């Protein structure tokens, strides 16, 4: 296949690697860019990303640490970098992205300095390129293994969303389009905060009833903030909202839930983060969500209590008890989709 049809995946963590493998299975020329040249050489030598996706071969995936080689002729650029690194990574590379290329954010987080969606950051960094967002319930390992997955491809231009849907869909990788880019991004980011909360609950051994309550009320918080910021409430009932929320709050592969569980068992945030090379986006998203909610005067008690545990050393049990001690109110006053 010609270079003009090439796909560049920026970020060789678990998600970027899984997406690159998916694209390779579609028969596309794909280049996976790794920030660490040592990691790129290791993947090239062994044929797998043992650091982030051990045991999964990567046939058809070309790995490089050269931004110029990865990006210069790519017709599609998929950004799979942790939210806090997107700006630093793309700043020196943005001029290498072809003016006709489409750019897809696969980052489930918010830009940490001011909490803006990654799509907005990308639009400012690579103006004139079509921007889309890929999100929904997905663990990288399952995508890499070719297990069935359904996701959302969101773009403000419906033609762009439909084109990317056609280009990236496969039998086991089903894509639905959505025009609510903000809602899709907020769903993908905020669910990580709720997964931290359910992890804290699990770490204390509070049971599945408590976890279900946190997930449900967490969805209500997500909707309230999303609608206040201009998102559509129905988006949060779909794959990028409820679907991703349930997976991340209950799945055994959820790094945010795992991080919360370790903190609930007594580890500090620093200790829990050091225990894994994977980035748990929910930590930074918690700070962004609290800032956005306060600016919009939106109550988000779960986010506030998770933030108190992470950043103010509030005891986990005390934080969860504070949620249980809130004044009773009719559920319909803060309904999930109202």
| CATH code for position 13 | 3.40.50.720
**Do residues 245 and 273 both lie within one domain?**
yes
pLDDT at 337: 47
pLDDT at 24: 98
Q: Which helix (H) or strand (E) holds 135?
A: strand 131-135
The tokens of 9 are what?
Answer: 């995946």
Spans of the chain, pLDDT less than 70: 1-4, 327-338
Which letter, b or e, does each residue of 193-226 get, where b requires 16 or more Cβ atoms within 10 Å of its Cβ? bbbbbbbbbbbbebeeebbebbbebbbbbbbbbb
Q: What is the dihedral of CA 176, 191, 260, 335, to 10 degrees?
A: -130
pLDDT at 26: 97
Boundary-marking domain end, from 153, 179, 205: 179
- For the chain, helix (H) and strand (E) counts, in that order, are 15, 8
**Do residues 141 and 160 both lie within one domain?**
yes
Three-state DSSP state, 184 = helix
| pLDDT-above-70 percentage for the chain | 95
| DSSP letter (8 states) at residue 170 | B
Boundary-marking domain end, from 160, 179, 198: 179
Domain boundaries, position 146: 3-179
pLDDT at 329: 67
**Do residues 198 and 319 both lie within one domain?**
yes
Spell out the residues 6+ positions from residue 211 whose beta carbon is closer than 8 angstroms to its own.
Answer: 198, 201, 202, 249, 250
**Do residues 20 and 150 both lie within one domain?**
yes
pLDDT at 327: 67
Residue 62 to residue 3: CA distance in whole angstroms: 13
**Do residues 238 and 297 both lie within one domain?**
yes
201 closest CA partner among 191, 217, 190, 213:
213
Task: Name the residue with tokens 């929910």.
Answer: 282
Q: What Å distances lie between residue 267 and 13, 14, 172, 212, 252, CA to CA? A: 25, 24, 38, 24, 19
Residue 49 to residue 214: CA distance in whole angstroms: 35
β-bridge mates for residue 10, sequence order: 33, 79
Residue 134 to residue 105: CA distance in whole angstroms: 6
β-bridge mates for residue 190, sequence order: none
- Total of domains in the chain: 2
Q: Which helix (H) or strand (E) holds 76?
A: strand 76-79
pLDDT at 3: 44
Is 171 assigned a catalytic role? Answer: no
**Do residues 194 and 174 both lie within one domain?**
no
Residue 13 to residue 18: CA distance in whole angstroms: 8
pLDDT at 332: 62
132 closest CA partner among 110, 113, 150, 157:
157
| DSSP letter (8 states) at residue 241 | I
**Do residues 16 and 80 both lie within one domain?**
yes
Catalytic residue among 108, 171, 191, 314: 191
**Do residues 194 and 45 both lie within one domain?**
no
Boundary-marking domain end, from 144, 162, 179: 179
Q: What Å distances lie between residue 292 and 164, 198, 319, CA to CA? A: 30, 22, 21
């Amino acid at each position: 296949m010609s270079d003009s049809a090439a796909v560049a995946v920026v970020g060789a963590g678990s998600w970027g690697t899984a997406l690159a493998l998916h694209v390779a299975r579609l028969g596309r020329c794909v280049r996976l860019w790794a920030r660490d040249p040592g990691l790129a050489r290791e993947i090239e030598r062994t044929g797998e990303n043992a650091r982030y996706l051990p045991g999964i071969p990567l046939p058809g995936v070309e790995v490089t640490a050269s931004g110029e080689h990865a990006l210069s002729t790519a017709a599609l650029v998929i950004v799979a970098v942790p939210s806090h690194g997107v700006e630093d990574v793309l700043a020196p590379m943005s001029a290498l992205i072809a003016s006709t290329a489409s750019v897809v954010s696969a980052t489930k987080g918010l830009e940490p300095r001011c909490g803006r969606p990654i799509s907005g950051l990308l639009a400012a960094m690579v103006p004139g390129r079509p921007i889309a967002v890929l999100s929904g319930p997905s663990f990288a390992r399952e995508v890499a293994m070719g297990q069935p997955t359904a996701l959302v491809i969101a773009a403000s231009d419906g033609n762009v969303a439909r084109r990317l849907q056609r280009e990236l869909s496969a039998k086991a990788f089903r894509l639905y389009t959505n025009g609510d880019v903000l809602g899709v991004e907020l769903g993908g980011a905020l669910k990580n905060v709720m997964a931290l909360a359910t992890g804290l609950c699990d770490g204390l051994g509070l049971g599945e009833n408590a976890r279900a309550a946190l997930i449900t009320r967490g969805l209500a918080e997500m909707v309230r903030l999303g609608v206040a910021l201009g998102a559509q409430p129905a988006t949060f009932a779909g794959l990028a909202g409820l679907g991703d929320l349930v997976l991340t709050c209950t799945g055994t592969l959820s790094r945010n839930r795992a991080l919360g569980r370790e903190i609930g068992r007594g580890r500090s945030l620093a200790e829990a983060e050091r225990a894994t090379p994977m980035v748990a986006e929910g930590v930074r998203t918690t700070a962004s969500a609290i800032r956005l909610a306060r600016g919009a005067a939106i109550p988000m008690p779960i986010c506030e209590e998770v933030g108190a545990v992470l950043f103010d050393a509030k005891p986990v049990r005390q934080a969860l008890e504070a949620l249980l001690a809130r004044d009773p109110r009719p559920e319909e006053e803060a309904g999930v989709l109202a």
